[in-house]
Amino acid sequence: MAIEGHTSRAYDGELSSLHVQVVEMGGLLLLQVREAANAYTEWDPGLARRVVERERLLNGYHRDVDARSLALIARRQPVASDLRAVVALSRVVAELERAGDEARKIAQAVLGRAGGSASRPGFATARDARHLARLAVNMVRLSLDALDRLDGPLAREVIALDRELDEEYASGLRRLMTRAMEDVRVFGGAMEAAFVLKSLERIGDHARNVARLMLSLGRDAAGAPPGEGQPAADASPR
């Protein structure tokens, strides 16, 4: 699908600038996820602090895109693919914002949650977290590429990748629990690590949701209502 091509160039400009802003927000999220994971696996409180501080920028993008989407709906009354694009972009920013929340939670695990102390992951846990982070970051990156280029096939690839992340999360969690049961002294740290792994898995889910929303921009995405059969073969969209 294309965002541009309207007779009104101003309308084209408003839609594409909304799209660009969402892609920019995605770039910031990618940085957040990458640095939050690094801060945890390499145990870097300085980096974690920067991630927590930057989160308000993500929230700012969310508010801004929402306000601009509302204004665009009010002023332009978009329909068909334009309407789907505006609604989808609005949902994409909500997904990006929630993924940003997960990145902040990972960073806060390094800084220590309120009332508790932080526990650095052991070698094996850090290795599992690093592996999950690689998969999650890759999914975020590809979903943003798909969003940037409005690339349907790439979006489908991202959706397929989510299963691998889910499986890796399940086995990482199993290994973590085994270690915790073997040595109860690491139980507190293992709980923290489980939350971090869960956050990485959730980030993958948000990337998958972004990819799904991307696909909803395509023609016939909403499906045709019953009783509106396509007549002849030559009646395909002209």
- Euclidean distance between CA atoms 120 and 112, whole angstroms: 10
Query: Which residues, numbered 61-80, are part of the site for another protein (CB under 8 A)?
Result: 77-80
Tokens, residue 195: 């939350």
Q: Which is nearer to another protein, 10 or 191 (CB)?
A: 10
Query: What's the distance, Cα to Cα, between the start and end of the chain in Å?
Result: 15
User: Least distance (Å) from another protein to the CB of residue 38?
Assistant: 43
- Euclidean distance between CA atoms 140 and 98, whole angstroms: 13
**# residues contacting another protein (CB under 8 A):** 30
User: Least distance (Å) from another protein to the CB of residue 78?
Assistant: 7
- Euclidean distance between CA atoms 188 and 125, whole angstroms: 13
Task: Candidates 102-110, 124-132, 138-146, 215-223: pick the segment binding another protein (CB under 8 A).
Answer: 215-223
DSSP-derived secondary structure letter, 225:
P
Task: Candidates 47-55, 143-151, 206-214, 221-229: pick the segment binding another protein (CB under 8 A).
Answer: 221-229
Which of 82, 97, 128, 205 touches another protein (CB under 8 A)? Answer: 82
Tokens, residue 147: 């969003």
Which of 11, 101, 111, 122 touches another protein (CB under 8 A)? Answer: 11
Task: Candidates 49-57, 122-130, 171-179, 213-221: pick the segment binding another protein (CB under 8 A).
Answer: 213-221
Query: Which residues, numbered 84-123, are part of the site for another protein (CB under 8 A)?
Result: 84
Q: What are phi and psi of 216, to 5 degrees?
A: -70, -15
| CA distances, 47 to each of 17, 31, 132 (Å) | 31, 11, 19
Q: Count other C-beta atoms under 10 Å from residue 2's C-beta.
A: 12
Q: Is 194 exposed, middle or buried (0-12, 13-18, 19+ CB in 10 A)?
A: middle
Task: Candidates 2-10, 40-48, 66-74, 196-204: pick the segment binding another protein (CB under 8 A).
Answer: 2-10
3-state SS class at 174: helix
Which of 74, 114, 184, 224 touches another protein (CB under 8 A)? Answer: 224
Which of 17, 171, 178, 230 touches another protein (CB under 8 A)? Answer: 230
Binding site for another protein (CB under 8 A): 5-8, 11, 77-84, 219-222, 224-225, 227-232, 234-238
